[in-house]
Amino acid sequence: MASKTDTTPTRVAFRLRVKPEMLDEYMRRHSPVWPEMLQEIAASGRRNYSIFHLGGGELVGFYESDDDAASQAYLAQSEIAAKWEAEMAPFFVAQDGRADQNAETFPEVFHLESQLRAAHTD
């Protein structure tokens, strides 16, 4: 995770599990996502946001943010995000609370650009 004096964005990887019998509908609802929800995600400061299907309903996602705590707080108070997450909640397996607030996250192990900068290599 980036420090407050570091200009490198925080990169967040997360995992969610969709009930396999609901996967087709979950994917349909993401193609496209509500325009107002897309705007809220962007307004929260998240960018380079992707979700990938690994198979069997397992999803892994990724986004970048300059201030992930502020992004989380913004989405937590957003009526649009609350409505979207309420609509998505029935799709998830073993998810306590809103997925945008409580998804399982993972520590970053390697990032090419960070290591190149640290090595002073282009």
Active site residues: 30
- Are 10 and 44 within 8 A, CB to CB? no
Helix (H) or strand (E) holding 52: strand 47-55
- Are 63 and 32 within 8 A, CB to CB? no
Distances (CA, A) of 10 to 5, 72, 98: 12, 13, 21
Q: What DSSP designation does 27 have? A: H
Read off the tokens for 92.
Answer: 């998830």
Helix (H) or strand (E) holding 17: strand 10-17
